[in-house]
Amino acid sequence: MRQFHFLDAADRAQLFHREPADLSRDGSLEVLSHALGATLYIPATRESLAADVLRVASQGSTSCVICLEDAIPDSAVEYAVTHVAEELALLRGRADLPLIFVRVRTPDQPGRLAGLMGEAADVIDGFVLPKFSTVHGPEFLDAVGDCESRVGRRLMVMPVIETPEVMYRETRIDELLGQRALLAKYADRVLAVRIGATDMASVFALRRPRDLTIYDVRIIAGAVADVVNVLGRPGGHAVTGPVWEYFTAPDRLFKPQLRESPFVRSDDRELRARLLARDLDGLIREVLLDRANGLIGKTVIHPSHVPVVHALSVVSHEEYDDALGVLSAKEDGGGVARSSYRNKMNEANPHHAWAQQLLLRAEVFGVAAPDVTYVDLLAAATADEGAL
């Protein structure tokens, strides 16, 4: 598994100062949490589920979630469990798979899937645990532990923080502290914590408009900040960005959020037009705000979102140079110095943790060549399959 594997060697050599590393599904949680990238949710009732997984993997997806919960109607659950087992079993032995997770509804479903799939259950890398709470979380975590014993390999978990207890101010901190204590007992299995922004909004009968980011909806932004503060601080868990749920743009109320200046060539202007038509300028802004607020990766619901998130995840040469400078200065005893790009100061002590995290992202997504921009990376990522 490797980010941007679909590019040929010549393109990668031109685009990257340091190419993305090869990844193993049995790698460390720290590295794999960064490798999630744009995690694509796929309804469990999709007719050609196995083919869909292979198709999105060939286009660059490195993680997907087969959803047995809110993505399918209640009446289809029994069919969907059997269907998922049959379809995922077809993928056994493939070397070109993304990380595959199943979002379950009930604690019995991991065991049921393992029983239906037999030895083929080893294609599943883990489970997404919906509406995670201190009350119901232990049932799900224990069920995954039992399933892991049956499958015979590590099964990772990604709890989704989305319940009213986290949204209500009077119960939020106690609930998050309880979740932190609970997850600490299963730290060797928790890959990342996901944020269920849609369910969070539903607590207050809200839906984030397409013209705004999740950070403009202050009641949700406050909850996201507290999740990062309690669960995502250094030494805790990776916290992933909430879902972006739009993929076409009707008439706009506000101006596009994507400036024209980075799109200087005629081909670039065509790319910008496609981004705006798909309403992806809002996604670009939200991904940047996710990162600024300490979140890693993104939940997405359409293949066109994947190259956008992944192109933004490549570390720029300037960031990489700054991080190396910070780490070098730290080894020499600290202090402050002007960056080699001569446009900012780098402080060895306060920027040290940032530099370490950035190098993890650089390992997974690579480092862009000095003259390569996000526009170049996105153009290359979408050139063949026409995803935009």
- Examine residue 348 and state whether it is found in any structural domain, yes or no: yes
Angle between helices 49-58 and 77-89 (to 10 degrees): 60
Q: Tens digit of pLDDT for each residue in 284-318?
A: 889 999 999 999 999 999 998 999 999 999 999 99
Q: Are residues 240 and 342 in the same domain?
A: no
pLDDT computed for residue 259 by the predictor: 58
**Who's near 154: CB < 8 A, 6+ residues apart?**
26, 148, 189
d(Cα 262, Cα 382) in Å, to the nearest integer?
17
Both structure tokens of 162 = 């989305």
Q: Tens digit of pLDDT for each residue in 192-212?
A: 999 999 999 999 999 988 888
Q: Are residues 268 and 336 in the same domain?
A: no
Exposed / middle / buried, residue 96 (Cβ in 10 Å: 0-12, 13-18, 19+): exposed
**Residue range 144-151: average pLDDT?**
93
Single-letter code of the amino acid located at 301: I
- Examine residue 47 and state whether it is found in any structural domain, yes or no: yes
Cα 311 to the chain's mean position, in Å? Answer: 13
- Examine residue 377 and state whether it is found in any structural domain, yes or no: no
**Residue range 147-155: average pLDDT?**
92
- Examine residue 6 and state whether it is found in any structural domain, yes or no: no
Q: Write down the residue that tokens 């402050």 correspond to.
A: 336
pLDDT computed for residue 72 by the predictor: 95
| Number of structural domains the chain divides into | 2
**Residue range 72-88: average pLDDT?**
96
Q: Are residues 337 and 202 in the same domain?
A: no
Q: Are residues 36 and 120 in the same domain?
A: yes
Query: Cβ distance 278 to 249 under 8 Å?
Result: yes
pLDDT computed for residue 260 by the predictor: 57
- Examine residue 11 and state whether it is found in any structural domain, yes or no: no
Q: Are residues 95 and 191 in the same domain?
A: yes
**Residue range 41-68: average pLDDT?**
96
- Examine residue 14 and state whether it is found in any structural domain, yes or no: no
Q: Are residues 334 and 303 in the same domain?
A: no
- Examine residue 36 and state whether it is found in any structural domain, yes or no: yes
Q: Are residues 280 and 350 in the same domain?
A: no
Q: Write down the residue that tokens 């910070």 correspond to.
A: 326
Kindly state the DSSP code that residue 24 receives in the 8-state scheme.
-
Query: Cβ distance 373 to 360 under 8 Å?
Result: no
Q: Are residues 109 and 215 in the same domain?
A: yes
Most confident of 38-52, 199-213, 261-275: 38-52
Comparing C-alpha atoms, which of 19, 17, 26, 25 is closest to residue 5? 19
Q: Are residues 356 and 268 in the same domain?
A: no
Comparing C-alpha atoms, which of 250, 245, 248 is closest to residue 301? 245
**CATH number for the domain that contains residue 156:** 3.20.20.60
Neighbours of 378 (CB within 10 A): 25
Q: Are residues 326 and 296 in the same domain?
A: no
- Examine residue 383 and state whether it is found in any structural domain, yes or no: no
Expressed as residue numbers, the domain containing 106 is: 27-314
Q: Are residues 169 and 266 in the same domain?
A: yes
